[in-house]
Amino acid sequence: MLFQLLRGNFDFASIVAEILAVLLIVFLILPFHEWAHAFTASLLGDKAIKYRGRLSLNPLSHIDPLGALCLLLFGFGWAKPVPIDPRNFKNPKLGMAITAIMGPIANLVAAFVGLLIYNALFYFAFGFLVTDIGGFVRTFLSFYISCNIGLAVFNLIPIPPLDGSKVLFLFLPDKAVNFFYRYQQIFFIAIFVLIYLGVISPVLNWATNGILDGLSWLSSLPFRLFVH
């Protein structure tokens, strides 16, 4: 979004639609993402998590101001990580991997709901979509959907503290895991630099587009069956 503003490649309605989509994600979807971590951890044995104030959908419990600002400006961001004690899991590595993967899955569920709404409008209210207000709604839903999928893909990068690292650690020896944790701040900064330079952007875009295509097909299936 920031680059569009700098290049003047935008119109007022699109910017407003995208800002509203980001606000929805910040105040609803990011808390849902973190709640998914907390709820899964609780189910797997970390019962103390409910006393840490994160087994909630209250946005104030989850919002990270800098992460929210990055989401608004760059299209990817984060919330406050949920503190999880893997010692409460029967299998710490497996428990952390399952807990971690549920965050990106929450984003994909949110994107899928957005696609269902879009398909409902497309199949049953197409005339509305071609109006000015409909175009605004279409822009809002498109950005909301793509942003959620992008967040899922971003979080699945196997570098700490991102969720994908916990999945990777399931297959690594403890010595390697400790190495990643020791230098996680350096790795995290490096990820942002690589994204800014466009080095890993093609891979992230390929994954995002592939997931979008798959979810689009799946979400449209019941409508196509119903209409035909």
Report CA-CA distances (Å) from 61 to 36, 67, 223.
13, 14, 37
The CA distance from 56 to 187, in Å, is 30
Q: In one letter, which amino acid is 91?
A: N
Q: Choosing from 31, 32, 34, 163, which is the catalytic residue?
A: 34
Contact 68, 24 (CB under 8 A): no
Burial of 217 (0-12, 13-18, 19+ CB in 10 A): exposed
Q: Which residues contact 177 (CB under 8 A, 6 or more apart)?
A: 169
Length of the chain (residues)? 228
3-state secondary structure of 89: coil
Query: CB of 38 within 8 A of CB of 55?
Result: yes
Whether the Cβ atoms of residue 80 and residue 64 lie closer than 8 Å to each other = yes
Q: Is 34 a catalytic residue?
A: yes
Strands (E), 78-195: none
Active centre residues (catalytic): 34
